[in-house]
Amino acid sequence: MMKIASFVRPLLLCSCLAISCQPATPSEELVIWAAGREGELLSRLLPEFEVSHPNVHVHAQQVPWLSAHEKLLTAAVAHRGPDLAQLGNTWIPEFATIDALEPLDDELSASTSVVPDDYFPGSWESNEFEGRSYGVPWYVDTRLLFFRRDLLSRAGFERPPRTWAEWLEMLRALQEQGRSHSGRPASPAALFLRLDEPELLLALGLQQAPLLRDGDRYGNFRSVEFRGALDYYLSLAQVALLDAEASSQIANLWDEFARGAFVFFISGPWQLGELARRLPPEREDSWDTAQLPGRDGPGASLALGASLVIFKGSQHKRAAWQLIEYLSRPDVQRRFHELSGDLPPRRSSWEGSELASERGAAAFRAQLEQLRRIPAVPEWSRISSAITVIEERAARGALAASAAAEELDRRTDRILEKRRWILERRSMLEQRSGPSHSRAVGALP
Amino acid sequence: MSSTRAGWWFVTPALLAIALFFLLPVLGGFGLSLTDFDIYTLADVHHLRFVGLRNYARLLDTPLFWRALANTAFFVVAGVPASIATSLASALLLHSRLARWSKVFRTALFAPVVTTLVAVAVIWMCLLHTRYGMINYALSLVGVPRIDWLGDPHWAMPAIALFAVWKNFGYNMVIFLAALQAIPGDLYEAARIDGATPAQQLRFVTLPSLAPTLLLVSLLTVAGYFQLFAEPYVMTQGGPLQSTTSVLYLMYEDGFQAWNLGSATAVAFVLFFLLLLLTRLQVALARRWSAA
């Protein structure tokens, strides 16, 4: 079988060439790596692109989310990366540092369809590193409040909280009521908070001040601003922990939310689809979303999400850019939203679509105008895991707030030690040879 | 004299291969552990610095390292005796003259060793499933409440140890079986004539004859169990709450997710020295035991 096949194939190929069935233009094979569900759904958008670009064939490779970072990084180090990829926007500084990504500034200034001003600013900025753009946002992700409108109004609050003080007041009132009804199993907890996820603390902190200081050389966690956010976060955690017994037994968030086990929780856009799908019909209208509260009014949240990037080693950069332009078209983004539920990063993709009127989407639309990016240093993932550990210990009372802030700075400064050395060395080299030889160093103060 | 030289000539190819493929990489790795090779170094080699023993000092100052060491120690302490006991028991059963179908059982019990770890790990994840798993179902028949095996920080490591014992005991079983078959039958005959019960035969004939094998098996098993990696990688990714992060998993995370190859190789060398120490300790204990 095998033998015949391998014998016949060259023959077929020869005859094929002889009858001249080769395409008019040389065909290009474009490889794109995309993670998880997006990777699966991407292939449904590709046929249309291939029709309008007959000489380009796109091969979409699906990578599991859990190992996407490691696979992409290893491929980049080995110079065996794909032509383009879906990259978590917080990874961009890391990949740009090892020179794996193609800067897209030239393409962007020439492009008529990818318009930076049309993108939500925080999301767009998250693709910049040291003064250059390395990616185009594909979809945005952020965190905000999900709450049970009916339970909140039963407690006497007709609208969701807008400020820190309002939110805490509501939580305490809810808790007070829960306690007076104690013994009734249905009395809801005020807030379900996952202490092993640092996103809420990061968002609250970023509302106040940058998380790193002096050109991202040191942690800024002992600053008055961050301490304010930390103290507030710890008081939220206290509320959540009073009902810890309830929240540690939460096996299925949606079931418990529908049952009324808690009023508030913090999550991201994927919950819109999950809640629409999983909540029983009688609870359909009972929930809503709200922008993250700020100190004096709706506050900023994190600019998360994924971007499309071109790898430096790609031989097909023009075709890769064409694919990015295609995937960034508002109509294609709307279709992608229908398939995946992911939120489009462009304002024009939201306009004139039913997206904004979907249940819970309005608060996201408002939140997207107020996004802050995570610090643009390649060490961020390590800093973030240090924050997770310390934040959880502080929330559980094993560490006082001041000690936690100190420990955060200590660990962050240690992780950033190499960065400080490199920046120092770079500025020394610049002084010696003049700034003209150096790379664009936007991060330098 | 010339025969000595001839001997050296014969081992030269092997020594060369060892030097090239073992000694050189190990030395290189040790050199790497004295540097701060990281993602910045990948961008520009000039960003490599010699840091002496700082990686080691920092490692000892990292809470997660001690956590990983404790997790690994738990896995070894729980897994190795269980594994050796299971191997020995199954080898004794297979070796028994009363055993029927012993070849079939030998093959069946050895089968987990030769199956792909990832494939059986996925099957075990189904078995261990909190709600639909067969293990919880079986336990519920005797009234044990549901256990969240891989999701509860207290149960995740025991679950992984259970899986590892099942996966590996067949290998030691075959070694034990071979050793059992090598015990001369007349020893048992003499013991029987002296009136020894089967339990006494096991205690005074079988176990002493197996002593060298037991030492070998325990050395190999301890060394193997200390290198716990694939099971948590597939089943729990080091979680929940870092309860299944082993030393090797820590090294992998540091090395291949953050690309801190300098500190990752330091982890590898710390593990190596730990194993070296433990092995020497085991050998010393075995000597004293056999001398006594």
Please report the pLDDT score of residue B217 as a whole number: 93
A69 touches chain B (CB under 8 A): yes
**CB-CB: which of A66, A414, A422 is closest to B47?**
A422
pLDDT, tens digit, 9 for 90 and up, residues B176-228: 999 999 999 999 999 999 999 989 999 999 999 999 899 999 999 999 999 99
Beta bridge pairs of residue A311: A101
Please report the pLDDT score of residue A250 as a whole number: 64
Q: Token digits for B87?
A: 């191997």
Count contacts between A and B (CB, < 8 Å).
Answer: 35
Mapping DSSP to helix (H, G, I), strand (E, B) and coil, where does residue B239 land?
coil
Number of alpha carbons in the 13 Å side-chain half-sphere of residue A218: 11
What whole-number distance in Å separates Cα of residue A312 and Cα of residue B260? Answer: 22
B253 touches chain A (CB under 8 A): no
Under 8 Å between Cβ of A160 and A145: yes
Interchain contact, B257 vs A73, CB within 8 Å:
yes
**CB-CB: which of A70, A382, A418 is closest to B36?**
A418
Segments forming the whole domain that contains residue B190 = 64-119+145-291
- Residue A186's pLDDT band, with cuts at 50, 70 and 90, is very low
- Please list every residue in chain B whose beta carbon sits closer than 8 Å to the beta carbon of residue A253: none
Q: How distant is the Cα of B256 from the closest Cα of chain A, in angstroms?
A: 7
Q: Token digits for A372?
A: 């802050």
A421 touches chain B (CB under 8 A): yes
Total number of domains in chain B:
1
- Please list every residue in chain A whose beta carbon sits closer than 8 Å to the beta carbon of residue B36: 418
What whole-number distance in Å separates Cα of residue A280 and Cα of residue A277? Answer: 8
Domain-embedded: residue B33: no
> From A94, which residue of chain B is nearest by alpha-carbon distance?
B39
Tell me what percent of the residues of chain A surpass a pLDDT of 70.
87
DSSP per-residue string spanning A168-223:
HHHHHHHHHHHHHTTT-TTPPEEEE--TT--HHHHHHHHHHS-SEETTTTEE-TTS
Domains of chain A: residue spans and CATH? 24-141+303-368 (3.40.190.10), 144-302+376-418 (3.40.190.10)
C-alpha to C-alpha distances, A9 to A2, A154, A203, nearest whole angstrom? 11, 73, 58
Under 8 Å between Cβ of A333 and A355: no
A440 touches chain B (CB under 8 A): no
pLDDT, tens digit, 9 for 90 and up, residues A127-142: 999 999 999 999 999 9
A98 touches chain B (CB under 8 A): yes
pLDDT, tens digit, 9 for 90 and up, residues A230-280: 999 999 998 888 765 544 556 678 888 888 888 999 999 999 989 988 899
pLDDT, tens digit, 9 for 90 and up, residues B146-184: 888 888 888 999 999 999 999 999 999 999 999 999 999
Q: How far is CA A29 from the centre of its chain?
A: 29
pLDDT, tens digit, 9 for 90 and up, residues A80-125: 999 999 999 999 999 999 999 999 999 999 999 999 999 999 999 9
Domain-embedded: residue B50: no
Q: Token digits for B23?
A: 């000694």
Domain-embedded: residue B20: no
A415 touches chain B (CB under 8 A): no
Least confident of A303-307, A334-338, B98-102: B98-102
Domain-embedded: residue B44: no
- Please list every residue in chain B whose beta carbon sits closer than 8 Å to the beta carbon of residue A378: 39-40
Report the mean per-residue pLDDT for chain A.
Answer: 87
The whole-model pTM stands at 0.81
pLDDT, tens digit, 9 for 90 and up, residues A400-417: 999 999 999 999 999 999
A396 touches chain B (CB under 8 A): no
- Whether the complex's predicted ipTM surpasses the cut of 0.85: no
Q: Token digits for B51?
A: 């840091």
Per-residue exposure over B47-69, b if at least 16 CB sit within 10 Å of its own CB, e if not: bbbebeebbbeebeeeebbebbb
Q: Token digits for A114?
A: 């990818």
What whole-number distance in Å separates Cα of residue B213 and Cα of residue B180? Answer: 10
> From B239, which residue of chain A is nearest by alpha-carbon distance?
A196
A393 touches chain B (CB under 8 A): no
In 3D space, the residue among A435, A323, A329, A386 whose CA is nearest the CA of residue A83 turns out to be A323
Q: Compute the average pLDDT of residues A6-31.
A: 54
Tell me what percent of the residues of chain A surpass a pLDDT of 90.
67
Q: How distant is the Cα of A187 from the closest Cα of chain B, in angstroms?
A: 26
Interchain contact, A73 vs B47, CB within 8 Å:
no
- Residue A181's pLDDT band, with cuts at 50, 70 and 90, is low
Please report the pLDDT score of residue A433 as a whole number: 78
Domain-embedded: residue B151: yes
- Please list every residue in chain B whose beta carbon sits closer than 8 Å to the beta carbon of residue A381: 257-258
Q: Compute the average pLDDT of residues A163-183.
A: 82
Instruction: Check which CATH number belongs to the domain holding B112 and give it.
Output: 1.10.3720.10
Residue A292: Cβ-neighbour burial (10 angstroms; 0-12, 13-18, 19+): buried
A99 touches chain B (CB under 8 A): yes
Domain-embedded: residue B172: yes
Least confident of A416-425, B83-92, B130-139: B130-139
Least confident of A6-10, A44-48, A187-191, B268-272: A6-10
Domain-embedded: residue B52: no
Q: Interior CA angle at B283 toward B279 and B288, to 5°?
A: 145
- Residue A179's pLDDT band, with cuts at 50, 70 and 90, is low
**CB-CB: which of A69, A99, A381 is closest to B43?**
A99
Q: Where are the alpha helices (DSSP H) in chain B?
A: 2-18, 24-33, 39-43, 54-60, 63-95, 102-114, 117-127, 134-141, 153-181, 185-193, 198-201, 207-226, 230-235, 247-252, 261-291
Chain A contacts in chain B segment 42-71 (CB below 8 A): 42-43, 47, 49, 58, 63-64
B178 touches chain A (CB under 8 A): no
Domain-embedded: residue B224: yes
Residue B20 has pLDDT above 90, yes or no: yes
Q: Token digits for A408?
A: 């955060």
